[in-house]
Amino acid sequence: MQPKITTFFKRTKIVATMGPAITQKLFTWSAWNDPKNAELVKKAYQRMEEIILAGVNCCRLNFSHGSYEEQEIRIKVIRETAAKLKRNIAIMLDTKGPEIRVNKFEPEFATIEADSKVQIYCKEQIVGSSTKFSVSDSTGTYNMAKDVKIGHNILIDDGKLDLVVESVDEGNGIIHTVALNTHTINEGRRINLPNSTYTMKFLSDKDKNDIEFACKNDLDYIAASFVNNPNHVNEIRQIILKNNRPNIQIISKIETGEAIKNLCGIIDVSDGIMVARGDLALEIPYYDVPYWQKQIIRYCRYVGKPIIVATQMLDSLERNIQPTRAEVTDVFFAVERGSDANMLSGESAKGQFPVIAVKTMATIDERSELLFDYDRALKVYFPKTNFPRYAEKTAIKIAKKLMPTGTHDAPIFNYNYLALFTDDKMLVRAVSNIRPAATILLITSEKELLRSFAISYGVQSFYVEDLNAAKGNYRQVINEAMNIYPHEDKRVIAYIDKKFVNV
């Protein structure tokens, strides 16, 4: 029997990357203010409204690309649209991180032939050709020759070119390799070193400036690229605290073999985790990525940290309007495993159909939530967490009350929303973690909490000035909150002062 898709509000969050597909090609304030671009400005707001209504909860700014002006324009569009819709949409800054990139070629491209000998210059900056080229990080001081050994692979352009190290001249910074395949490369292509421990500096001046930008603009999350150990997270935390922004949460991206080795330590000091599968699949064997995705989701659930699954989830929707069967399965099982949020990258940033991409992900999320094993979440996963006793007891009480009836294949959801009146952040984390079978409508007087749960499963926030007054007038408050979400099926139960109240 096929379960019926109800009109409950999607619980798994969607993180969407911003780019020209959403905010158009408006990269400077002069372009923004030019009357000739009035239609583009209008379209940027319209597209932003469409993706938020389609299910986006957090907007990601990729700081590997774009100027501060460009990002400021996006922040303006996000915040003004969110205010118009009365939605608490968070903003995530994704750092560039310690990247290695190929330097200049002349002519612009060079084709590396299979079986050819290729020299890589790591100190001297040369003009590249089909037999040699130079590489550097953002500081210009990194010597990649220190981090490779004979027999190591050097992957270029997302692994499209594979070079094997034959010898290393560390002193002069020259690596001698042989190409395993033919591929054309150009300036700026990324380099990955599987099985290597990187010696380059973690935070460049650019990264530090970008983190300070996040602080000055009151952003909500920093997605930290290429975190390899807990000290890297602490470096970012120090900058945040120095700028008096302790509310900014650090989402560590797991994308290297070294990060896998230090996984538990990284998760413990982070506020959340992103499984960044693109680089991870180049740094460890690609066939191990599904295993580690499952393990990372599991561990995050045990320690009560939000987890985002990212990279190529609906990649074909950059060009098409229908996802592949593999993509549908990928998104479905990320939710089934317990992901708090799934992320769109190029699909929303530069794709031809960004709104369709969001709607498609939301539809798959919702289907997976209908068939989710809520009983297993309560009885198997949650007992392994370590929340304070009061939060644990309340979460269990709520999960049992909201547990679907019927069968697993044909569940019956008795409520679509739980109105939770509280300012207790730990309690909200526990209730989200247990994966209740309803959207958590958080009624709070703490403004800090409004966007704090933008990537956490199931939580939608609504602000009231006086929580006790709101409890006394709970029906009106819930009605006001529910009017934000245009769904017909609004079966709600409230939890107020340790008691359930029918609405």
Same domain for 93 and 104: no
> What pLDDT sits at residue 85?
96
Which has the closest alpha carbon to 70: 353, 349, 315? 349
Same domain for 249 and 365: yes
Q: Which residue has the tokens 């309803």?
A: 438
Chain centre to alpha carbon of residue 378:
25
Confidence of residue 407 (pLDDT cuts 50, 70, 90): confident
- Which of 142, 157, 192 represents a domain boundary (last residue)? 192
Same domain for 468 and 336: no
For residue 165, what are the β-bridge partners?
A: 177
Q: What is the DSSP string of 462-497?
A: EE-S-HHHHHHTHHHHHHHHHTTS--S---EEEEET
- Lowest mean pLDDT, pick from 95-99, 331-335, 451-455: 95-99
- 489 pLDDT exceeds 80? no
Same domain for 361 and 238: yes
Per-residue pLDDT, averaged over 21-45, amounts to 96
Residue 185 DSSP code:
E
Same domain for 349 and 330: yes
Residue type, 179: A
Same domain for 92 and 182: no
> What pLDDT sits at residue 307?
98
Confidence of residue 8 (pLDDT cuts 50, 70, 90): low
- 2 pLDDT exceeds 70? no
> What pLDDT sits at residue 486?
63
In a domain, 198, yes or no: no
**C-alpha span between 289 and 310 (Å, rounded):** 12
**C-alpha span between 407 and 414 (Å, rounded):** 13
Residue type, 160: K
Count of domains for the chain: 3
In a domain, 348, yes or no: yes
Same domain for 286 and 360: yes
Mean pLDDT for all residues in the chain: 95
In a domain, 81, yes or no: yes
Of all residues in the chain, the percent with pLDDT exceeding 70 is 98
Same domain for 381 and 477: yes
For residue 222, what are the β-bridge partners?
A: 93, 250
In a domain, 197, yes or no: no
The parent domain of residue 144 ranges over 100-192
CA angle 362, 366, 369 (to 5 degrees): 140
Hey, is 121 helix, strand or coil? Answer: strand
> What pLDDT sits at residue 9?
72
Same domain for 218 and 354: yes
- 410 pLDDT exceeds 80? yes
- 478 pLDDT exceeds 70? yes
> What pLDDT sits at residue 152?
95
- Which of 162, 192, 222 represents a domain boundary (last residue)? 192
- 225 pLDDT exceeds 60? yes
In a domain, 7, yes or no: no
In a domain, 5, yes or no: no
Cβ atoms of 462 and 436 within 8 Å: the answer is: no
Same domain for 280 and 145: no
What φ, ψ does residue 152 adopt, rounded to 5°? -70, 150
SS (H, E, C) 13-59: EEEEECCHHHHCCCCCHHHHHCHHHHHHHHHHHHHHHHHHHHCCCEE
Same domain for 498 and 381: yes
In a domain, 51, yes or no: yes
Residues 47-80 have pLDDT tens digits of 999 999 999 999 999 999 899 999 999 999 999 9
> What pLDDT sits at residue 423?
98
DSSP-H helix ranges across 252-324: 257-261, 263-269, 277-283, 289-303
- Lowest mean pLDDT, pick from 145-154, 159-168, 285-294, 407-416: 407-416
> What pLDDT sits at residue 195?
80
Residues 234-278 have pLDDT tens digits of 999 999 999 999 999 999 999 999 999 999 999 999 999 999 999
Same domain for 333 and 317: yes
CATH number at 224 reads 3.20.20.60
- Which of 158, 192, 226 represents a domain boundary (last residue)? 192
Confidence of residue 1 (pLDDT cuts 50, 70, 90): very low
**C-alpha span between 128 and 419 (Å, rounded):** 61
CATH number at 187 reads 2.40.33.10
Confidence of residue 196 (pLDDT cuts 50, 70, 90): confident
Per-residue pLDDT, averaged over 407-419, amounts to 89
Residues 102-157 have pLDDT tens digits of 999 988 999 999 999 999 999 999 999 999 999 999 888 999 999 999 999 999 99
In a domain, 6, yes or no: no
> What pLDDT sits at residue 3?
44
- 474 pLDDT exceeds 50? yes
**C-alpha span between 306 and 459 (Å, rounded):** 12
**Looking at 328-432, which runs of residues are DSSP E strands?**
341-344, 405-406, 411-412, 417-421
